């Protein structure tokens, strides 16, 4: 089942990043990276055509309280987001019904790709959700063509779990992989004790 999560008042620190709730003042930084073509598209949303669009989404982030802003310590610039999302397949993934977890999703400004920043952020969130909130599992997905995101998930320990067709926010469909990470501090005597098995 989907676990509870509220980003209000949280601050997670890594070597190079601060993960904290979004603020109205982040609008300029958000638009700067979200307006670049082929960044959001890799995560299923169209790049922002104008600042109004960014403002609308930023308002959702602040209202829904499930998305971290990724602030670079060296410049205090916000360079990405990481959401602790409700997973939408609760009715299909019945093996999780007595366990608590969420699905994470993320986007990083193109200017900062390839420096290991997203794995750093993802690991901090995994650590918080498993060790402080005691979640049982986390899901994370990527489209087949998104090798960079696949690498982030591999490096953070997520194992391929299901092959899926995702509905994007652009009204298209993309085939991809849903990956699973189980809390290593818990033991599971369930069907998915071999999470590397792909189920088609
Ligand atoms: C996916 C994403 C978050 C990766 O973040 P990151 O901080 O760059 O991740 P890493 O630095 O660990 O790089 C991951 C892999 O991408 C590849 N890579 C890095 N920079 C690259 C670049 N500029 N061009 C092509 N490949 C690149 C590398 O192979 C790297 O793997 P390696 O560590 O084994 O060499 C980032 O590319 C992004 O925001 N993409 C657009 C949105 C998106 O895809 N979100 C996820 C949706 S599922």
Question: Which of 16, 108, 148, 169 has most ligand 1 atoms within 8 Å of its beta carbon, as the pocket-test mutant?
Answer: 148
What distance in Å separates the CA atoms of residue 88 and residue 67, rounded to the nearest whole number?
Answer: 16
Index of the ligand 1 atom closest to the CA of residue 43: 47
Residue 97 alpha carbon to ligand 1 centre in Å: 32
Q: What residues does each domain of the chain span? A: 12-193
Second-level CATH architecture of 12-193: 3-Layer(aba) Sandwich (3.40)
Residue 17 alpha carbon to ligand 1 centre in Å: 17
Query: What is the predicted pLDDT for the residue at 167?
Result: 85
Query: What is the predicted pLDDT for the residue at 191?
Result: 65
pLDDT digits (tens, 9 = 90+) for 131-180: 999 999 999 999 999 999 999 999 999 999 999 888 888 898 999 999 99
pTM score = 0.95
Index of the ligand 1 atom closest to the CA of residue 149: 1
pLDDT digits (tens, 9 = 90+) for 67-123: 999 999 999 999 999 999 999 888 888 889 999 999 999 999 999 999 999 999 999
């Amino acid at each position: 089942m989907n676990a509870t999560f509220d980003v209000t008042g949280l601050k997670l620190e890594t070597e190079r990043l601060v993960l904290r709730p979004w603020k109205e003042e982040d609008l300029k930084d958000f638009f700067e990276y979200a307006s670049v073509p082929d960044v959001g598209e890799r995560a299923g949303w169209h790049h922002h055509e104008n600042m109004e669009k960014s403002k609308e989404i930023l308002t959702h982030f602040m209202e829904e309280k499930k998305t971290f802003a990724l602030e670079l310590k060296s410049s205090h610039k916000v360079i990405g987001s990481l959401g602790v999302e409700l997973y939408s397949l609760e009715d299909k993934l019945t093996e999780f019904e007595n366990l608590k977890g969420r699905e994470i999703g993320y986007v990083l400004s193109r200017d900062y790709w390839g420096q290991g920043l997203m794995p750093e952020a993802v690991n901090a969130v995994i650590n918080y959700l498993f060790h402080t909130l005691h979640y049982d599992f986390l899901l994370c997905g990527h489209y087949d063509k998104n090798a960079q995101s696949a690498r982030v998930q591999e490096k953070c320990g997520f194992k391929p779990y299901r092959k899926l067709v995702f509905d994007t926010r652009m009204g298209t469909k993309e085939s991809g992989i849903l990956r699973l990470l189980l809390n290593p501090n818990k033991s599971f005597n369930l069907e998915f004790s071999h999470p590397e098995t792909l189920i088609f």
